[in-house]
Structure 1
């Protein structure tokens, strides 16, 4: 089994899409650690606010198979990859950490994921998995968050539809 830290985001009907993603992760992987969901401004483009969250899963899939499974989940919920790299998203799920793996490629797979430096990725992960170590720095997620220059970024907690998933486990 492998431990994967995931970042989830949506800015198109976001509460619904994040709840659906949590439900799909639970259905496929069983018990997961799920963060609260936070509303944050779009990064890298002008667009609607995102709802971001994180999950930690135990996976029987290797990193490439998990990445493919996550892309299929995104696609099943209307992810459009034909536009610019930064744009509106129904569902965006990235592997941020996978065990202690450090890799680059294929495609956009980069571990650890560079977006870990952003509050919208780091804060929810540090809240649910403070003990996990980022392999290139050797620091825990809690230590990275404590030293983050984005600790003051406004992140407002939002409720997810209870029918599909809870906001936090």
Structure 2
């Protein structure tokens, strides 16, 4: 079955609980093989908002990429996410980073995520669970992409929390 790598983030409400609830809900459609530690990160783009908690996970699914996107958006809504401004605060955000080694560019979905290689808040947690995963377009490992970010890595640090263990 296909393997999807997902990024989860939250900066409103009980951020850790929002991530825990999202992981629990994901288990209905995905087998979570690996979940990174939670990282606290400075907001990007819109700086006047609370810090984020972020994590990454490796999820096995029978869903297609489009079905995965639809399910993730429904899950965000079920968990209380409201439409808002781009890059603004949110209760939960779940993005598809990779879906196997698929390269896809449609109006509704781009895989790999088009900006993941620029984002420390994505690469640091992802490197915890998949440091040797090769980006199919850039042909670089996740750990290499993370290391190229240099100073922006200072905006990401491990939170004093751990995600729930698999039951």
- Under a length normalisation based on structure 2, what TM-score does the superposition of the two structures give? 0.88
Q: What corresponds to 2:113 in structure 1? A: 113
Shift of 1:150: 4.6
Whether 2:91 is the aligned partner of 1:90: answer yes
Count of aligned residue pairs for this structure pair: 163
- What is residue 77 of structure 1 aligned with on the other side? 79
**22-31 or 72-81: which moved more?**
22-31
Cα distance in 2 for residues equivalent to 1:88 and 1:151: 20
How far does residue 86 in structure 1 lie from its aligned partner after superposition?
Answer: 1.8
Contact 1:119 1:150 in 2 (8 A): no
TM-score scaled by length of structure 1: 0.87
What are the Cα deviations for residues 36-86 of structure 1, in whole angstroms up to 9, with x where unaligned? 1111111111211110110111111110000111111100011111x2112
Q: Tell me, yes or no, if the aligned pair for 1:4 and 1:98 is still in contact at 8 Å.
A: yes
> After TM superposition, what 4+ stretches of structure 1 lie above 6 angstroms from structure 2?
none
Deviation at 1:32, TM superposition (A): 2.3
Task: Give the SS at the match of 1:28.
Answer: coil
Q: Give distance in 2, aligned partners of 1:161 and 1:15.
A: 9
In the TM superposition, what are the counterparts of 1:1-169 in structure 2 within 5 Å? 1-12=1-12, 13-45=14-46, 46-81=48-83, 83-107=84-108, 109-116=109-116, 117-150=118-151, 152-160=153-161, 165-166=164-165
CA contact (8 A) 1:120 1:155 kept: yes
Q: How many Å apart are 1:28 and its aligned residue?
A: 2.9
Label 1:38 to 1:62 Cα distance change in 2 as closer, same or farther (>3 A).
same
SS of residue matched to 1:51: strand
Q: How well do the aligned residues superpose, as a CA RMSD in angstroms?
A: 1.9
* Structure 1 position 27, deviation (Å): 3.9
